[in-house]
Amino acid sequence: MFKRTITIATFIACFTASAAQEVNVYSYRQPFLVEPLFQKFTDKTGVKVNVVFAKKGMAERLKREGKHSPADVLLTTDISRLVELQDKDLLQPVNSSDIKQAIPAQYRSADNTWFALTTRVRNIYSAKRLGKIDFNYEDLAKPEWKGRVCTRSGKHPYNVALVASMIAQHGEVKTLAWLEGVKNNLARKPQGNDRGQVQAINQKLCDVALGNSYYFGNMLKDEKQKVWADSVYINFPNQSNRGAHVNISGIAMAKFSPNADNAKALIEFLVSAPAQQMYAETNMEYPVRQNVKASELVSSWGEFSADTLPLETIAKHRKTALMLLDKSLFDL
Amino acid sequence: MISGNRSNLWKIISWVTASLLVLPIIVMLMSGLSATTELFSHLWDTVLPTYIINTLYLAIIVGLLSTLFGVVSAAIITQTNVYAKNILRWLLMLPLAMPAYLVAYLYTDLFDYAGPVQRYLRGFFGWESPSDYWFFDIRTIFGAGVVISLVLFPYVYMLARTAFELQDKNLHRASRLLGFNTFQTFYKVSLPLARPAIAIAVSLVLMETLADFATVQYFAVNTLTTAVYDTWLGYGDLSAANALASILMLMVFFVVLFEQKARMKQRHQSNRPTRGSQVILLSTFKQILASSFCWALVFLGFLLPFLLLILMAYEYASLDQLEALISTGVNSLELSFYTATLTTLIALILVLYKRLHQDKLRGVPVNLAGFGYAIPGTVLAMAMLATFGPLDNFINELALKVGIDEPGLILSGTIFAIVFAFIVRFSAIANGTLTSGVEQISQSIDLAPPSLGVGQFKSILKVHIPMLKSSLFIAWLLVFVEAMKELPAVLLLRPFNFDTLSTQIYQLISDERLEQGAIGAILIVAFGLIPIIWLNKNEDKV
């Protein structure tokens, strides 16, 4: 039995080691989102795309594999993962004038090691029964919302990034006070996922909730969840001041990429207009390429202004954000 | 007893195997030693005390409930004439096939304020808001404890049932003759005799509970594993995360110690399970009570979640999903088969080494090998990378020097790492089951073959292994089912384009689309059911 295990192990090893026109991707993004794009890429270039999908520990795996790592391209959601890879010196810069031109500066690293592919807003959903309201994130801590706010865990990367952007704007002391205020206003202990919060609004458990923009589109497309989405407005916060907090899904090339040319080709392909169009459509996100429009449904939510602070700057406050979340006992 | 050259070989194999299994854990602990104290004091000042209290609280609830569920149901099945006993007998094992994270996902969804049950109640009674009525809050430590107990109690049930069945019924008769009633006999004779088996099973349940992350997360309960993940993935401090994981290890150490202390003085010389022994005849009222208890466990631990999955599959599934699942299903089966077989074999070697050898330290290897169960799968996966990554690099450097093609990451980048991680993680299950089985064998049997001039290995093959057959099957089955369900280690260690059923479901759950993974989930459960049902059918023969 063991012998057979080894045979199979060696077989797989040989398979992954032989590098004939392929590109290896470590992906935090779900296969169903990216596979159609990879298929297009393969059709166009003849380069086969191999994927491993995982969320926790990809950076660590890459680090441990060191210079023998088979990984070429890393595909992630959330700015923090990209910055983590960058901080651990696991990436290499990709110099491409096309990419630079296509992506706004706030959504790529200054050293060209990572790039956003799509953007998503951290929205505030509010019950339709309240009428249209203009929100600032800061409002969630106001006494008038006592017992009316819902959110998923504060430690979720999307919320951590939001808290980091608050620190970038207001500093630590004010942000801690804000967190304590929001915690006091919670209708229930942070739990569930973003869609669950909209469901809770629909069931009148709370009136406002934090949630990413694409979930709204995905709920509208789902027969059962459409009812939930129909009972809320999607609000773009802080429109009269710094703009809404935006997070990204992004891409980077591994430091020891064995198929660097193919990796670069894949990155350029994913930034190209047709791929951007497709990417944005499948998951209701905003394309990062400036001249590509969001899907019809997403566009129908209206224009908005986004926080222009570079994500790299916001990400620097991540650790502090986590500490403040601990300090305010936000999830407990 | 065993002596001589072969005995030495056995000893060496036992120690080497145990050391290999404990190696990743040592690597993890070493990394923990280099942790800085700064982050620790921050955690200690803020959330850590609550996490620790939650962990203890959860362990106590799960410990008590799974003992209650498992022992009472085992007693009902073995000692009474409860209705539909032959069906219940194996139905009570089925919750094992249900991944806890899946049941957690389904139940939090079902019983949540916004979930269908409460929505229906509100509609029916015209309630408007949470203040209009009371409904238990599923997202609490207690809720998590109940659900974890519902899927893990079969460990206790199976080991307790086997122990009850193997008891010498003459002891029961003696007890009755001495004037004890049936309840007293159970309490004073059967239960103490089954205590070692129960202790082993409960300690397994507790280890699984301590290592759990996904399940408690759905209940919004923060435990020590939350802290492990926060420090590693949030703060990016793997050393501190490993140090926290060592606290978990310490807790397990106490669980193991407690379990062994609890049954140290127990030794049973008599083991003559007599068939056709008397069962307790239940009155109608007690019959209803006993039946409801067992059926409630089966319903909540298996039937209800399974039904929910089937409904989801019915609503969302399509045929091409099924086709795509075949290759992933084969991967799952293959991994589980290797893992179950190797783990059981290793457990047999270690447990018999402890039983049949004279060395003072003969019990150490089997204990060492069992520690992996309490390590959260992801943390274990990291330890595997830390252990085999450098080894791989060494191999590749060597290959370069010798002038042959680099073989790539043959250890850390292939299913070798996954199977190894599984064995580390699930050894405790096989060890526990076999230990419990060995203890049911009278010591006099060890001595009989040598005294009759039969060789030692022959005696093991002809005497011990046949007597352990049922334990061996249970061990294999439990590991197989666990490997089928295990997620985090595969997720992180798998090679390119390699999916198992659990990774596929995880991908869908993490996108909040379990509906589309319903068929895969059903397959996991179904593959887990096959050996359970097979075992049940062949039980009389083995």
Separation CA B38–CA B494 (nearest Å): 34
| Closest Cα in chain B to A53 | B491
Q: Which residue in B65, B69, B47 sits closest to B57, CA to CA?
A: B65
| Closest Cα in chain B to A327 | B46
Separation CA B510–CA B177 (nearest Å): 61
Which among A31, A32, A332 is the nearest to B47, CB-wise? A332
Which among A1, A17, A204 is the nearest to B341, CB-wise? A1
CB of B418 within 8 Å of a chain A CB? The answer is: no
DSSP lists the bridge partners of residue A150 as A209
Cβ contacts of residue B289 below 8 Å, gap of 6+?
Answer: none
Which among A9, A56, A155 is the nearest to B492, CB-wise? A56
Mean pLDDT value of segment A52-64: 81
Separation CA A166–CA A237 (nearest Å): 13
Mutation test of the interface with chain A: which of B51, B215, B507, choosing the one with the most A Cβ atoms within 10 A? Answer: B507
CA distance A17 to chain B (A): 6
| Closest Cα in chain B to A29 | B507
For all residues of chain B together, what is the average pLDDT?
84
Q: How confident is the model at residue A94 (pLDDT cuts 50, 70, 90)?
A: very high
Provide φ and ψ at A302, rounded to 5°.
100, 165
Helix, strand or coil, per DSSP, at residue B263: coil
- Contact B338/A190, CB-based, under 8 Å? no
Tally of residues, chain B: 542
Interface of B with A in 139-178 (CB under 8 A): 139
CA distance B36 to chain A (A): 15
- Contact A52/B507, CB-based, under 8 Å? no
For residue A64, list chain B residues with Cβ-Cβ distance below 8 A: 385-386, 389, 412
Dihedral of CA A239/A245/A246/A252: which sign?
positive
CA distances from B397 to B329, B352, B404 (A): 36, 40, 10
pLDDT digits (tens, 9 = 90+) for A131-155: 889 999 999 999 999 999 999 999 9
- Contact A57/B130, CB-based, under 8 Å? no
Q: Note the pLDDT of residue A144.
A: 95
The domain locations on chain A are: 21-119+246-299, 122-244+309-327
- Contact A6/B494, CB-based, under 8 Å? no
- Contact B238/A60, CB-based, under 8 Å? yes
| Closest Cα in chain B to A192 | B218
Asked whether the beta carbons of B493 and B365 are under 8 A apart, the reply is: no
ipTM associated with this complex: 0.82
Find where tokens 């997620």 sit: B487
Which among A6, A68, A195 is the nearest to B512, CB-wise? A195
CA distance A97 to chain B (A): 31
Which among B129, B495, B508 is the nearest to A12, CB-wise? B495
Identify the H or E element spanning B327.
helix B319-356
Asked whether the beta carbons of B366 and B350 are under 8 A apart, the reply is: yes
Tally of residues, chain A: 332
Mean pLDDT value of segment B280-303: 92
- Contact A17/B407, CB-based, under 8 Å? yes
Q: How confident is the model at residue A5 (pLDDT cuts 50, 70, 90)?
A: very low
Q: How confident is the model at residue A12 (pLDDT cuts 50, 70, 90)?
A: very low
For residue A61, list chain B residues with Cβ-Cβ distance below 8 A: 385, 492-493
Separation CA B124–CA B118 (nearest Å): 10
Say whether pLDDT at B267 is over 80.
no
Helix, strand or coil, per DSSP, at residue B280: strand
Residue A275, phi-psi category: left (phi > 0), alpha (psi -120 to 50), beta (remainder): alpha
pLDDT digits (tens, 9 = 90+) for B449-467: 767 777 777 777 777 888 8
In CATH terms, B4-26+49-538 corresponds, of 3.40.50.720, 1.10.3720.10, 1.10.1740.10, 1.20.1260.10, to 1.10.3720.10
Helix/strand/coil (H, E, C) string of chain A? CHHHHHHHHHHHHHHHHCCCCEEEEEECCCHHHHHHHHHHHHHHHCCEEEEEECCCCHHHHHHHHHHHCCCCEEEEECHHHHHHHHHCCCEECCCCHHHHHHCCHHHECCCCCEEEEEEEEEEEEEEHHHCCCCCCHHHHHCHHHCCCEECCCCCCHHHHHHHHHHHHHHCHHHHHHHHHHHHHHECCCCCCCHHHHHHHHHCCCCCEEEEEHHHHHHHHHCCCCHHHHHCEEEECCCCCCCCECEEEEEEEEECCCCCHHHHHHHHHHHHCHHHHHHHHHHHCCEECCCCCCCCHHHHCCCCCCECCCCHHHHHCCHHHHHHHHHHCCCCC
Q: Note the pLDDT of residue B226.
A: 82
Asked whether the beta carbons of B442 and B268 are under 8 A apart, the reply is: yes
Could you say which architecture CATH assigns to the domain A122-244+309-327? 3-Layer(aba) Sandwich (3.40)
| Closest Cα in chain A to B42 | A323
Q: Note the pLDDT of residue B277.
A: 58
Find where tokens 């061996």 sit: B472
Q: How confident is the model at residue B192 (pLDDT cuts 50, 70, 90)?
A: confident
pLDDT digits (tens, 9 = 90+) for B510-521: 766 777 778 888
User: Which is more confident, A311 or B319?
Assistant: A311
Q: Note the pLDDT of residue B542.
A: 43
Mean pLDDT value of segment A219-242: 93
Mean pLDDT value of segment B337-366: 89
Q: Note the pLDDT of residue B137.
A: 87
For residue A30, list chain B residues with Cβ-Cβ distance below 8 A: 507-508, 510-511
Cβ contacts of residue B473 below 8 Å, gap of 6+?
Answer: B535, B538, B542
Separation CA B517–CA B523 (nearest Å): 10
Q: Note the pLDDT of residue A38.
A: 94
Q: Note the pLDDT of residue B527.
A: 84
- Contact B392/A68, CB-based, under 8 Å? yes
Q: Note the pLDDT of residue B263.
A: 65
Q: Residue B134 corresponds to which tokens in the numbers above?
A: 């009371």
Q: Note the pLDDT of residue A7.
A: 46
DSSP lists the bridge partners of residue A73 as A25, A253
- Contact B130/A205, CB-based, under 8 Å? yes
CA distance A68 to chain B (A): 7
CA distance B343 to chain A (A): 11
Say whether pLDDT at B476 is over 80.
yes
Q: Note the pLDDT of residue A59.
A: 85
For residue B43, list chain A residues with Cβ-Cβ distance below 8 A: 326
Q: Note the pLDDT of residue A11.
A: 44
Separation CA A252–CA A90 (nearest Å): 10
Separation CA B67–CA B88 (nearest Å): 18
Helix, strand or coil, per DSSP, at residue B233: helix
For residue A52, list chain B residues with Cβ-Cβ distance below 8 A: 494-498
Asked whether the beta carbons of B429 and B475 are under 8 A apart, the reply is: yes
Q: Note the pLDDT of residue B279.
A: 74
Separation CA B116–CA B113 (nearest Å): 8
- Contact B496/A52, CB-based, under 8 Å? yes
Separation CA B387–CA A60 (nearest Å): 13
Q: Residue A148 corresponds to which tokens in the numbers above?
A: 């009316």
Q: What is the CATH number of domain A21-119+246-299?
A: 3.40.190.10
User: Which is more confident, B525 or B2?
Assistant: B525
pLDDT digits (tens, 9 = 90+) for A182-206: 999 999 999 988 999 999 999 889 9
CB of B31 within 8 Å of a chain A CB? The answer is: no
Q: How confident is the model at residue B19 (pLDDT cuts 50, 70, 90)?
A: very high
CA distance B47 to chain A (A): 6
Q: Note the pLDDT of residue B438.
A: 85
Separation CA A240–CA A237 (nearest Å): 8
Mean pLDDT value of segment B176-194: 80
Say whether pLDDT at B107 is over 90.
yes
Cβ contacts of residue A196 below 8 Å, gap of 6+?
Answer: A152, B112, B114
Number of inter-chain CB pairs under 8 A, A vs B: 161
Separation CA B464–CA B467 (nearest Å): 5
CB of B36 within 8 Å of a chain A CB? The answer is: no
- Angle separating helix axes B319-356 and B415-439, nearest 10 degrees: 50
- Contact A326/B389, CB-based, under 8 Å? no
Q: Note the pLDDT of residue A260.
A: 94
Q: Note the pLDDT of residue B261.
A: 75
Interface of B with A in 289-328 (CB under 8 A): none
Do the domains A21-119+246-299 and A122-244+309-327 sit in the same CATH topology, yes or no? Answer: yes
- Contact B220/A190, CB-based, under 8 Å? yes
The b-or-e profile of A211-240 (16+ CB within 10 A means b, else e) is: bbbbbbbbbbebeebeebbebbbbbbbbbe
pLDDT digits (tens, 9 = 90+) for A245-268: 999 999 999 999 999 999 999 999
For residue A53, list chain B residues with Cβ-Cβ distance below 8 A: 491, 503, 507
Bridge-based pairing of strands A149-150 and A208-212 is parallel
Provide φ and ψ at B89, rounded to 5°.
-45, -45
For residue A319, list chain B residues with Cβ-Cβ distance below 8 A: 235-236
